[in-house]
Amino acid sequence: MQKLKTSILLLTIVLLAACQENQSSNSKDLFDFGWKFTKGEVTGAENPNFIDQEWQDVDLPHDWSIEGPFSKENASFSRGAWLPAGKCAYRKTFKIDKNQKDKRFVIYFEGAYRNSEVWINGQFLGSRPLGYASFHYDMTPYIKIDGNNTLTVKLDNSAQPGSRWYTGTGIYRHVHLITTDKLYVPVWGNYIVANDCSSKEAKIRIQTELKNDCNKIRSIIVRQSAIDAQGKKISSIETQENLQAGESKISKSELNVKNPLLWNPDSPNLYTIKTELLEAGSIIYSETNKTGIRKIEFDATNGFFLNGKNIKLKGVCLHHDGGPLGAAVYARTIERQLEILREMGCNAVRTAHNPFSEEFMSICDSMGFFVMNEMFDEWEIPKSPATTQNGKKIRIPVQYYADKFKKWADIDLTDFVLRDRNHPSVIMWSIGNEIEQMMHEEGAPISKRLSAIVHNLDYRPVTNGVYGYGWNKWPNEEAVSYSDIKGYNYIKSEGFDKERELFPKALGIVTECESAQSFYPRSTYLYGDDKKTWWEALNYEHDEAFEWTEKRGLIAESGIEAWRSVKARSNIMGQFIWTGFDYLGEVIPFGWPARSSSFAPIDLCGFPKDGFFFYQSQWSDKPMVHIFPHWNLEGQEGKTVTVYAFTNGEEVELFQDGKSLGKQKNNTKGVEYQSWEVTYQPGELKAIAYSNGKSIAEKSVKTAGTPAKILLSTRKTEMTANSQDLIYVECTIVDKDGNVVPKAANKIEFSIDGPAVIAGVGNGNNMSHESFQSNYRKAFNGKCLAIIKSSKKAGEIKFSAKSHQLEATTISLSSK
């Protein structure tokens, strides 16, 4: 028995030692909960003794502008979605345990819009003008151990209009408290390069910045390990390092991985790189970073290559907002956006025109999307974009970043690259979008400087979205020469040809172009008196907005031609259409009451429009066919209506009430769509797509009856009980036979029984002024959306939707 006890004791000692050896004293804790908030300018809030008990309790991420209301009096104007903006303040009180008295404490903000000022216990930590920048401060000298610590953040978004699109106002991204030893790896201190690879072997090169804040020499071992998706360590290396008091240095390591699983869009394999600092056998610091092993190459003849495979970039530009949630975007918002884009056939995103969240980059990594990571929308000269007011085009200068550029651009760009350079999804950096100075020789030294900053920090190429021939403008050649890849905005076919003739060895990509989507909102088809009534209600008839919209039609030929030009040219890497999703603000070509854009193939709520199916027919191999318009065209009986079809089949046949209206060929190697002139009468249209003489897909639209019930659908039914997970509930109004009622506008009321809340509602109508923060929404053209957010409590959830004279519906969800 004594031997058994001794053996158990020895085993316990060994296990404890192993546990101690595998534990580090550093942490990165989410700091999103338990904040106080108030709007307006507040004097003295940085004082720890300031009384904030009347302030609002909020959790992060938080965007107060999205709460509204919409108003023509709001200074944000149409570019800011007519929503309020201004000054505000946040406070959070917290304690540090006395057992952490020898630690180092850093507060890390992923983003706060904008002109942030931060204090800890009344001590000023710093300011950051750019609201999209991630930033951090060392709070160690001012932290009270085993006492109350008060963090104060003031923001100023009062200079309006403050952007060409909706920005939001508030601490709209996550905040973290980082605790480390006095010997540590600084924020963004690991640089991981995994571009030297094949299917047989990969070399992962790691540069780790080390910092010793102690007043003595410290000798450590830097251990780098590669861990696969199953948690197995597949490669490891140790390096001895000595640091003098106060010294910073770079430690370099190289890991070899046999038979790596390469990262690609179909299989976005990720590895974990674990960095550990060991002193006297104990781990004093540890952090992990994800990386994807893949090789990117660029060729002036055949464009872009991934792991030796030629790939066309089928991309979209996105703005950072999450529709009904405003700028306070959660991980699930991003996942759903990318899921929908993937279904469209999209494989790439341009972050227009500012740094996106870290979550966005990580989710692109895990879902296999390519990213053009963009930094600036303006340099030293502010933009004065056109907008429509009372039927007239006017230009209003935005107060965004130009006045801050000289002081902050190099700092912001450096931090931007340092933060995002470990992401395998990033394939190139963009240093600008339609920059006026790029048209003149004064842009050359700025372009040279910014490109050099990126090249000094990372191996990936630089681009810059400049005007193409479509704008009758052309950039300064020297200014453009400092970009590795020429970025073309709205270039026409003849522009490609001229560029190829002048610069045959140049790399090129379409950084921005028109989409194939109509300007009209989703499922809006107007004929005769309906069209006149719609435009008269907006007081727009015969003005420029009317002319633009009518010229674009139900299919934007310019957007189709943009893809046709890219598809036909192997040297052009791909395109990024403007935009993937509708977004808040920039309501071109409309003015009031429009408060969001309408030219994307996907609306603000994530509902596909007709343009979605054009890109699906071109970018996806999944058999499909789509026809439009819907077949509830009251008032058009006996009149001729054009019916359009998109398909990736070789042929498509249209039937009206069972009678064939003929087959049409589809050149799958080109860029085509089909159309028929059809005499409207209530009934059914049906399209069948064929390849090799066999049916591969079909789609029908029927004349729907009166609204009868609500259908609810979700992409998932379970969420995490962390107060930050979401379920998107899509609501569709159908008739008694289950046909979508395409003009239904019923008011739908939502209710929840269980541990969740309604975070936002919407319907995709870019002219609706209903609040996004509500428990009801009118359907727009048969659809609306409710966004459900978890709490910290797990449990079953019942979500119900009801409307007057419609059959109510309930679905079961859960939070775990």
Which residues are known catalytic residues?
434, 512
CB-based contact 50:91 (threshold 8 Å): yes
**Which stretches of 129-174 are assigned E, i.e. beta strand?**
135-138, 148-156
CA-to-CA separations, 150 to 59, 153, 174, 361, in angstroms, rounded: 16, 10, 18, 31
CB-based contact 157:74 (threshold 8 Å): no
Strands 485-489 and 507-514: parallel
> Tokens 């992962």 label which residue?
204
> Tokens 């060929």 label which residue?
665
- Partnered with residue 712 across adjacent β-strands are 731
CA-to-CA separations, 559 to 41, 516, 671, in angstroms, rounded: 46, 4, 11
Record the tokens describing residue 590, joined without a space: 């409309």
Other C-beta atoms closer than 10 Å to the C-beta of 510 total 28
Dihedral angle over CA of 463, 464, 470, 474, nearest 10: -110
The span from the CA of 92 to the CA of 379, in Å, is 35
The span from the CA of 270 to the CA of 263, in Å, is 7
The span from the CA of 648 to the CA of 611, in Å, is 14
Amino acid at 325: L
CB-based contact 575:516 (threshold 8 Å): no
Residue of 235, 243, 170, 163 lying closest to 206 (CA atoms): 235
The span from the CA of 142 to the CA of 689, in Å, is 69
The span from the CA of 171 to the CA of 168, in Å, is 9
Counts for the chain of helices (H) and strands (E), in that order = 11, 47
Other C-beta atoms closer than 10 Å to the C-beta of 759 total 22
**Ramachandran category for residue 669: left, alpha or beta (phi over 0 → left; psi -120 to 50 → alpha):** alpha
The span from the CA of 397 to the CA of 554, in Å, is 32
Residue 545: in which H helix or E strand, if any?
Answer: helix 544-552
Record the tokens describing residue 199, joined without a space: 């299917």
**Which stretches of 11-100 are assigned E, i.e. beta strand?**
27-30, 35-39, 56-58, 87-95
Sign of CA dihedral 89, 419, 247, 455: negative
Other C-beta atoms closer than 10 Å to the C-beta of 254 total 14
CB-based contact 501:493 (threshold 8 Å): no
Amino acid at 546: F
CA-to-CA separations, 126 to 113, 116, 137, in angstroms, rounded: 15, 8, 8
CB-based contact 109:139 (threshold 8 Å): no
Work out the burial of residue 615: count CB atoms within 10 Å of its CB; fewer than 13 is exposed, 13-18 middle, 19 or more buried.
Answer: buried
Amino acid at 562: A
The span from the CA of 183 to the CA of 222, in Å, is 12
Residue of 27, 18, 78 lying closest to 585 (CA atoms): 78
CB-based contact 86:98 (threshold 8 Å): no
Residue 13: in which H helix or E strand, if any?
Answer: helix 2-21
User: Which residues, including other chains, have CB under 8 Å from residue 397's CB and lie 6 or more apart?
Assistant: 382, 383, 384
Record the tokens describing residue 382, joined without a space: 């502010």
